[in-house]
Amino acid sequence: MTSRVALLSMLLAVPGLPSSRAADELPAFKIVVNADNAGSAIKRETLADIFLKRSTRWNDGVATAPVDQSLTSRLRAAFSSRVLHQSPAAVHNYWQRQIFSGREQPPPVKPTDAEVFGFVVARPGAIGYVSEGAILPSGVKELKLVE
Amino acid sequence: MCRTLLLLAGLTAVALSCAAQDATEVAIHAFGSSLYGKTNGNSYAVGDEEGRYGNSQLSLNLSAKLSDKLRITGQTAFNQTSDGVQPALDYAFAEWRFSDALKLRAGRVQQPFGLYTEVFDVGTLRPFAILPQGIYGPVGFTAEGYDGVGLTGRWHSSSGWALQYDVYGGGVELGPDAILPGGGEEEEEHGTETVRNSIGGRLVIETPVQGLSFGASGYSGQEEDERHTVYGAQAEYVSGPWSLRGEYGHLVSRSTTHAFYFEAARRLGPLQAAARFDWYDAKSVDEPLPDPSLGRHKDTAVGLNYWLHPSLVFKLSYHHVVGNRIARPAAEDLADVLAARALDTRTNLVVVGAQFSF
């Protein structure tokens, strides 16, 4: 009986994604942009629109260039939950629909904070998220997230 | 087949070469499925009485952003049929972006109709392995694409409302079996039908309630000497573990047709349970059908899925069908079955398989 319960528990765990238990302990993150960005804060809705590519321009006309972290990372789960108000799987589904209907491509994925920084430094309109404790290199600044 | 593969490989190589030389952004994606279907008699969707394995399919999607305003997108499908693997061009078009609210598309473009036409074969975007056949089956409602030009765009307000629109004009190529069956040889003569000089559009309203949207679609054109007019309505709610979808369609051509479906699915971890009711009724304008059941279709289905990853799902579904509009004997046997008054109006189908996308 115990082994059957264990098997069922194993089958009901979400493969490939952070578990629901882990969702309660999601890590904190901060929003980073290229240092040329004129802003100091960004509304959650605006940030969501940029990451879902519903808004493709900053106020000054520069093209937005969002960068994501790995689909299976807990940092992305935290960002998806707090900013997009959706699970990573739901956001993945949204992008699959956009891709195969020929409408839009998802943001590029960078697996580490260091690679996100590299992407942001290289593009004036870039925006990403990194671990709260990450030390910002030159050419990158933090935007305050406003709910 | 080889020529198509070579062409695709060549285009991919050119695109990757361009991407390597300048700032062109190239993306390659794919989706596919492999399904087994078995019925208790009639042929229906992916199944027949013998049990059909030959339902494998792979599609490659290539997109190149050549500038801030210009993007080229194409998709090729490779379908396993009784004649071997058949390549097909799903779409290939160029898109010029004036703004987020106005984009011009030209070429072969997915037909924006309803919830699923643009992602017709992408199994990871729906709860059942097969689409509701009353609207998306071989019944003349939809095509995978139109050949022509179109405009698309999206507006959104700060209050959470958004509007997505499409308008287009061109030719719409319906699939085979798009007209009501007359039985015997007459039916076999009808292959792919093209609705010429079509104009159409779709409007989708996204509400401030996350995942809730409503929409309407329609198109009209000339099919030989008949007017072919289709319109439909859609509603969708996808939030958390739930997905609820419903659509209605109405077709006026050589037949007058009404169809609707409602489907609900719920995730429990990697498991997903689904149920669907799919209804269709058609009346021939020209002449009575050989049997009234050839104009009817009612599919009640339940399904259970196991998601190994958001990109890979195993699916099992059971369908109970009443009516012979779509579930019926093979085309070459239909006349004999009708003559013998041996048409079985009830069909049971079991589908099992895997679907993936990346």
The overall average pLDDT reported for chain A is 86
> Cβ of A63 and B68 within 8 Å?
yes
Q: What is the pLDDT of residues A50-61, one digit of tens each?
A: 999 988 899 888
pLDDT digits (tens, 9 = 90+) for B283-294: 876 778 888 899
- Judge: B310–A63 Cβ closer than 8 Å, yes or no: no
Predicted confidence at residue B22, as pLDDT, reads 53
Q: Is the pLDDT of residue B99 over 60?
A: yes
Exposed / middle / buried, residue B286 (Cβ in 10 Å: 0-12, 13-18, 19+): exposed
Q: Sort out which chain A residues have CB atoms less than 8 A from B91's CB and list them.
A: 102
- Partner residue facing B309 (CB), from A15, A102, A103: A15
More confident residue, B337 or B132: B132
Tell me the nearest-neighbour CA distance from A109 into chain B, angstroms: 12
Find chain A residues with C-beta within 8 A of B311's C-beta.
92
Give strand pairing partners of B47. B37, B44
- Our CA-based measurement puts residue A49 at a distance from the nearest CA of chain B, in whole angstroms, of 10
Selecting from A12, A96, A102 the residue whose C-beta is nearest the C-beta of B110 gives A102
Query: Cβ B63–A99 below 8 Å, yes or no?
Result: yes
Residue of A nearest to B92 (CA): A102
Give the sheet arrangement for strand A140-146, strand by strand: A41-43, A140-146, A29-34, A126-131, A65-66
Lowest mean pLDDT among A9-18, B8-17, B44-53, B210-219: A9-18
Top pLDDT among B42 and A147 is at B42
Complex ipTM: 0.86
Tell me how many residue pairs between chain A and chain B have CB atoms under 8 A apart: 89
**Confidence grade of residue A43 (pLDDT, cut at 50, 70, 90):** very high
Per the prediction, chain B carries an average pLDDT of 88
> Cα separation of B220 and B171, whole Å?
10
In this complex, do B124 and A96 lie within 8 Å of one another by their Cβ atoms?
Answer: yes
Judge whether A44 and A52 are in contact, CB under 8 Å.
Answer: no
Residue B188: per-residue pLDDT:
44
CA distance B326 to chain A (A): 26
State the nearest Cα–Cα gap between B121 and chain A, in angstroms.
9
* Model confidence band, residue B328 (pLDDT cutoffs 50, 70, 90): very high
Q: If you average pLDDT over residues A10-36, what whole number do you get?
A: 69
Is the Cβ pair A54, B210 closer than 8 Å? no
Q: pLDDT per residue over B180-209, tens digit each?
A: 655 444 444 445 678 899 999 999 999 999
Asked if A85 and B162 come within 8 Å (Cβ–Cβ), the reply is: no
Give the strand pairing for B162-174 and B25-39.
Answer: unpaired
Question: Where does the pLDDT of residue B25 fall: very low under 50, low under 70, confident under 90, or very high at 90 and above?
Answer: confident
Q: Has residue A17 got a pLDDT over 60?
A: no
Contacts of B268 in chain A (CB under 8 A): 12
CB–CB of A54 and B100 under 8 A? yes
Closest alpha carbon within chain B to A44: B158
Interface test with B, best of A7, A64, A80, A101 (most B CBs within 10 A): A101
Helix H or strand E encompassing A40: none
Give the CA angle between residues A128, A130, A136 to the nearest 5°. Answer: 95
* List of chain A residues whose C-beta atoms are within 8 Å of the C-beta of residue B308: 15-16
How far apart (Å, rounded) are the C-alpha atoms in residues A114 and A120? Answer: 10
Burial class (CB in 10 A: 0-12, 13-18, 19+), A78: buried
- Please name the residue of chain A whose CA is at the shortest distance from the CA of residue B108: A102
Q: Alpha-carbon distance B88 to B325, whole Å?
A: 26
**CB-based contacts of B216-221 (< 8 A; 24+ apart in sequence):** B217/B112, B217/B113, B217/B114, B219/B111, B219/B113, B219/B168, B219/B172, B219/B195, B221/B171, B221/B172, B221/B195, B221/B196, B221/B197
Q: Do B125 and A96 touch (CB under 8 A)?
A: yes
Measured between alpha carbons, how far is A16 from A32 in angstroms, rounded to an integer? 27
Asked if A86 contacts A122 with a C-beta cutoff of 8 angstroms, the reply is no
Does residue A1 surpass a pLDDT of 50? no
Chain A positions in Cβ-Cβ contact with residue B164 (cut-off 8 Å): none
Mutate one of B95, B96, B105, B118 to test the A interface: name it (highest A CB count within 10 A): B118
pLDDT classification of A4: cutoffs 50, 70, 90: low
Across-strand partners of B63?
Answer: B27, B73
